Amino acid sequence: MKLIKNLEKSEISIGPFSKSSDPSIIECIGLAGFDFLIIDLEHGPNTIESSQNLVRAALLHEMTPIIRVSENNESSISKALDIGAQGVQVPQINNKQDAIKVVRAAKFSPLGERGVCRYVRAAGFSSKDKNLYFEESNQNTLVILQIEGKEGIENLDNILDVNGIDIIFIGPYDLSQSLGVPGQTNHPEVINAMKSVVNKAKQKNIVVGTFVETPEDLNMWKDLGVLYLSYKVDVGIFYDACKFTYQTLKN
C-alpha cells in the first residue's frame, strides 16, 4: 500500500477526493502519480456497486483506494472494506463512542467486531486463506476519522484515546460552518481550531489529514506536520484543466 509505506516513513501523501464514476478517470489519477484516492460515498453519485470498479482501477496503478462512507454505520463500513478499499474514512465523529463504533466495524476480532464473510473481493472471493485474510485486514486497513465540528474538537482528547485510529482528518468546510463562518476555511478561528487538532493528535502519534484547494495551503499544513493531504476533487481538477486549455487556445 503506497499510503501506508509513506506514513511509515513519515512522508506526505497526496490524493484527491473522487466523485467520478468512470474507472478511466481513476486510472488517469493513478498514472499521474497520486498516492491515494478518496472515493466519496457521502457526496456525489457513487454507490458501493459502482465503487468496486473504481477500487480496482486505483489498485491497478498502485494508488491506495480509501472510501469515505456516508455515515458511521456498521453495514456501510463493512461493505466498503469488503469490495477491497484499503481504508475507510468516516464523517462527523463527535465523541469517543463514535470513534469506538468505527474501529469495531472496521476490524475483525480481537481488535473489533467486523462482520465476517470470505466470499467478497477483499478475500479473493474465498481464494485467500481465511486466517491470513483476517490478519492482513486488521494490519493493513486504515481507520480514518473525520473531525469537522465544535463537538468533535471539544471531545478530541477522549477520541484520541481510542485504540485503532490511524488518521484524524479535519474537514475544514463543515468545521467552518460549525464555527459560524461557513465556507471561510482560512478564517483565523477555523485555522486555530485546526491547528489545535494537529497539535493534540501529534502528541498521541496519530497522523493528521485535511482537505486543501491550493498549493499554498497544502504547503502550510505540510510544514505543520500534516501527512495525509487531500488536494481538491477529481471533477474540479478536470474542470480547471478544461478551462485553462480552452482559455489558452481561445486567446
Q: Which three three-digit cell numbers place residue 11?
A: 512522508
* Among the listed residues 63, 25, 64, the one whose alpha carbon sits nearest the alpha carbon of residue 44: 25
Average pLDDT, the chain: 97
For residue 47, the model assigns a pLDDT of 96
Contacts of 194 (CB under 8 A, 6+ apart): 170, 172, 175, 210
Predicted confidence (pLDDT) per residue in 157-185, tens digit: 999 999 999 999 999 999 999 999 999 99
For 2-142+211-250, CATH gives 3.20.20.60
CA of residue 107 relative to chain centroid, distance: 16
Local confidence band at 29 (pLDDT 50, 70, 90 cut-offs): very high
Predicted confidence (pLDDT) per residue in 54-89, tens digit: 999 999 999 999 999 999 999 999 999 999 999 999
Statement: residue 1 has pLDDT above 90? no
pTM: 0.96
Give me the percent of the chain exceeding a pLDDT of 90: 99
For residue 251, the model assigns a pLDDT of 83
ω before 16 within 30° of 0 (cis)?
Answer: no
Q: 40 forms bridges with which residues in the sheet?
A: 68
Give mean pLDDT, residues 203-229.
Answer: 97
Domain map (residue ranges) of the chain: 2-142+211-250
Give mean pLDDT, residues 16-37.
Answer: 97
* Positive/negative CA dihedral, 104, 106, 109, 111: negative
For residue 124, the model assigns a pLDDT of 96
In degrees and rounded to multiples of 5, residue 167 shows phi and psi of -140, 135
